[in-house]
Each structure stands twice: as structure tokens, then as C-alpha cells.
Chains A and B, each alone.
Chain A
């Protein structure tokens, strides 16, 4: 019977309880309030709805808190109880083995009428089901009881003079604050875990070996010199920006200053479609179209140099996957970011400045170069920095088109790898969580985070400096 309860759809039940109890609370509060608006001789402080919301708040909060507690700790608590009841024999298992065993038990308990035929396992599973059932039961009862209690207490507060409206207002403020706090807490949590795990990594591999080492071979040889990865990331982002910055900016200038409204109505949506293409599609475009093209051009250059006697052997590496191919495609990918954002800021330049330039006898391109773009510069820089951080964080295109070899090479036709690609490589496939190999992914993540943070700080500062100058 209890283990049947272990199969309850708790998410659904808790949600239903929350909705039902909240509705009851609202109706109860409202009905009570309507009584005094009809009978009392004092004018009530708040309208019936406000009283309703007040009671609703107090019946909802307990359910939500208990529900959250259940989601976060329900399973953990059940396991803890089960572990305390396990017979002596289990103490020979290492903590890791015990966790795996309990995982299997939990999985088995979730299946109805599961029997493995092995007596001990089935008994443990049975017992686990019962514990889950008890926990579910207690949770549901507690949620309902506390909610009803909240409802009663809140309802007793109501009186014609009760300032329900103000209480609801502060309830809303708390709710909004909690939402903001969740965002901040998550960020802090992620950064803290990055820092913490990175510190564990750096206790095994010295920081300088990581930052300045030139040999990266985490998979096989435990060599953790990340410089080739930083270099690869820089190279590819550099190529990407060499394409995206001019093309995106000029496209934005064309759209905002030259295009008639009909042309604009066509080009703008097309650019937005470009922004919506999944990066994996760009990735295979890079792999199947651009990388071979880059390779054949490189081979042709090699031949020419040899034919003209300028070189003895091949000068360019001409690999089938190359930094240049990945950079070009990544550049194409971020063009819409640059052009769309720059277009917005250029259009936001006041018409009066344009009029001023034209009235001075400036041509269109003079007005654009000397007045409009300078006025929009802070926004354009912000757009470019956003595109850079997109490029740095991009993974898929690089995985597919740039290769996997960690090397420092200024030859754009040789293959490279980047921070993000290596993070993926480190964390996919079987590996224990504690090995330096896995931990190095956190260190790389930390580097990525710090670089992006610096970019943002620089962007904010640049924008502020220009503001001071021009406003």
C-alpha cells in the first residue's frame, strides 16, 4: 500500500493542491470581505479582491515552500533513510559503489511490479518504495494542512479596517525580489563552483603550467598547457571579426541610411533568418563547403609559390579542416548580430544631426563617416563586443571545421582547437568526476568566464567614456 504511494505523480498533485487551495483562499477572503462591504458602516480600507489576494497569498506560500523542499530534498531524504536501515553487509561497499547501487534501486522502485529475482535487492527495493510512499504522503498532508492553517490565520486578520491592499503590495514586492535573487544566486553559484573546482585542479597542476604551457594533451598524457587553446580561440575569433565587423557594419549603414523602406522591409527579415539558423548547420556548411575551398586555394598558392621559385616546399599547411574555414563561417554567423544591433543604434542617431550635416553640404557618405557613425559609435562598439563574445563562446562550428589539434600556428590553413571545443571533449565520454582531466574543464570554463567578463567591463567603460564626450 505504502509502496503504491511511492508511484504518485507528485509534481501534478502538488500543483493541483496549490491551485485548488489558492482558489479556495481567494474565494474565502473575498466572501468575508464582501460581508463587511455590505453590512459595515465603516468604509472598508481595501476592495474585496485585495482581501481575496491576501488570503490567497497565505494559502499559497506554504504549498510552494513545501513543494520546493520536496523537489530539492525528497529523493535525498528517502535515500538517507534507506541507507541508515541497510544491513551491516553493505559497509564493504565504497561510497561510489553504494551510490551506484542506490541508483539501481531507485530506478527499479520506479517501475511497477519490478522483481529481479535476487532476494536482497528486491527487499531493499521494496523498502525503498515504502519510504518514498511515506515521504510523499507526509509531504502532501503537510502541504495541505499548513496551507489551510495559513488560510485560516489570514482570514482571521481580515476586518473592514485591515490594509489588505498594502499587504498584497508588499507580497508582490517580495515575490519580485525573490525572482531577482534567484538570478543572482544562480550566477554566484555557478561562479563559485567554477572557482572551487578550478582550485582543486590547480592544486594538482600549477597555474602557470596551465596558463603558459604550450602542450595540451589532456585526454592521454595529462599535459595541461592551455596556451594553444587560448591561441586557437583568439585566432578563430579574430578571423570571424575580420569578416563580421566590416560586413555587418556596412550592411547596417546601408540599411539605415541608404535603403528605401521597401528594400529595408526585405533585407531586414532575411538577416534575421540568418541569425536563426542553428549553428550546427553553419558547422556542416563550414566542413563541407568552406574548408575544402580554403584547402584547394591553399594548395594552389603552394603550387604557385613553388612554380615561381619563391619556395622549395609547401608553405601553407592546407589541412582539410582549418582555422580560416571556421573563422570565415563564424564571421558569417555573427554578421546579423553586428548589423542588426548597429542598425538600431544608427537609426537612433537624432535626425537633427543628419539634417545638420546635409545642410552643411555633406554628401551622404561624408555625413555617415563624419557625423552619424561617430555619434553611434558607443552602440556600435557594444555590438562588436557582443559579437566577439558570441564568437569566443561558439563551439559547434569549430568542432566541425577547425579540427581538434592543439597547436600554436599562425598559418590560417592549419587546424586548431579552442577552449570550448576542448571543454566538450573533456566532459563527453566516460570518466570519473575527480580526475584532473575533468577538473581542467572547470579551469577552462573559468578562463572563458574571466575573458568574457573583461570584455563586458571594457565595453561598459568605452560606452561611458564616449557618453561623457558627446553628451
Chain B
């Protein structure tokens, strides 16, 4: 994907290979370094709105590193440096004019291991709205909490015990709590880094259903090491290898007729 095409796509708001999807984020020539070591090599990728983009690839290929560029979480790592342009609504998120704190309220993130705060279920959800001043008063907050929990499909299970510690829930429930927590600040994009890898198959199925449901409202980018999962939940798939983006396209196309030899080898299980 060459630079000019990506740029024009960002301006016109359509994807080159999927003309009816609008672009939510557009990354051009991203390079990431940990100290001297380069982890991402010249990646350009556009992310469609209201759909799920899966990032796949062998472990250590830089999927998480790339994902963390999108909400500038790499800023929190000492010695990590990001180069390149990531456009969102006409602005480069890496420019000094952008406050990473506000950016992260628009680009939420869910991690590999469920990490609820050591607070009650209610407080876990209320945390984001509170620090960003999204709720006027207690009733408003109650409403945000309920709505977020409902969207995350957790409300029915926890509505009677909102004061219990978030950490007292099961692993799958904790992960849905983390999704609800991310939703509560009304993000536009949700990043998920292997959100099911610590969960059992039933909890995984519930999260996958939830992701499918959420894509109607949000732009979702999910890192996964399971190719079945990528095939089940995503509309578009990007394959990374050794820090480079090898191939990106429609999920069906990637899994049925990959253009690159390395993609084919990976999805047929020949390496990785």
C-alpha cells in the first residue's frame, strides 16, 4: 500500500479495497524502536470504522507494539520511540497538540489479562467518566454504569452486587467488566490485545459475541493468536511478520486466497 494512496484514502474517507467502509484511523510509515532495537518497520495501515480489524502473526512480530501506538500507550514505556503519522479525524495523534490523556478516552483499550482496579464493580466503571467529567451527578453516573454494563453483557449478572470488588468476579466476567469500563468513556475506537487468551472457551465465546455486537457502534482492533477467532469476529485482517505488515485485506480473502506466501504459510499452520 503506497503512501499517496493511503493519504488520499484518508482524505476521501474510504478504504482502497473496500470502498463502502469509511476510515477511522490511518497509519503511515510507522516505525517503532525500543532503545536501539526496531520493533515495527514502516507499517502503513488503514482501519475501517464500525468493523473489526484483526491483527494476526507469530508472537513477537510486533502486534501489541503496533496496537499500543494507536492510543500512545507506548509513551508510558521508557525508551520507546514511535515515528510516522497516525491520522484520526484529520489530526496526527502523535503531534504535540494532541493530549494523550484525551486521546486515550477516545481510543479505549482492553488487555490480555483482565485487569480490573482493586475497587468495587461500580467504581471500576465510574472511574473513567469521573476523571473525564462525563457525568453530572449521581443519577447520571448510575445511568452510565448501567448502560456500559448492559452493552458489555454483564448487567444481568452483577446488577445486585455492584458494590462487590471487581476482582471477585470470574475471569470472563472480569474481562467483560474491563470492556464495560472502556465503553463507559464513550470511545470511538476500542483496542483489544488478545482479550480471550486467559479465558476458557465458554467465556471466550461470550466475549466474541460481545465484540460482534459492539462493532455496530465502535471501531474495534483486536490482536489475536487464534486464527479461528480472527476468522469468526473480524471483517478485515492484517498479517504481521517480523515487525512488518505483510498483507491486509478482507478477512474472507486473507483466509481463502492470501496473496503472500508467508500469510498462507502462517494461516495453514506451517509456522508461528
Interface residues of A (CB under 8 A from B): 260-261, 350, 352-363, 366, 370-371, 374-375, 469-471
Contacts and interface: CB of A to CB of B under 8 A. Distances in A.
Interface stretch (B18-26, B40-48, B83-91, B102-110): B102-110
A360 B181 contact: yes
A89 B185 CA distance: 98
B76 A375 contact: no
B113 A375 contact: no
B111 interface: yes
B17 to A, nearest CB: 30
Contacts of B115: 350, 352-353, 355-356
A39 B181 CA distance: 76
Nearest to A358: B76
Given A356-B178, A358-B104, A359-B109, 16 more contacts: A350-B115, A353-B115, A355-B76, A356-B115, A356-B181, A358-B73, A359-B108, A360-B104, A360-B127, A360-B185, A361-B101, A361-B102, A362-B127, A370-B117, A371-B118, A374-B119
Interface string B163-175: 0010100000000
A153 B115 CA distance: 64
Contacts of A375: 117-118
A359 B105 CA distance: 8
Interface residues of B, number: 28
A362 to B, nearest CB: 6
Nearest to B117: A371
A374 B118 contact: yes
Interface centre among A356, A359, A370 (most CB of B within 10 A): A359
B83 to A, nearest CB: 21
Contacts of A471: 167
B131 interface: yes
B118 A359 contact: no
A357 B119 CA distance: 12
Contacts of A470: 118, 165, 167
Contacts of B101: 361-363
A359 B71 contact: yes
Contacts of B181: 356, 360
B44 to A, nearest CB: 24
Contacts of B103: 361
7 contacts: A353-B118, A354-B76, A356-B181, A358-B76, A359-B73, A361-B128, A361-B185
Given A352-B113, A352-B115, A353-B117, A360 B76 contact: no
B182 interface: yes
A355 B115 CA distance: 9
Contacts of B167: 470-471
B131 A469 contact: no
B150 interface: no
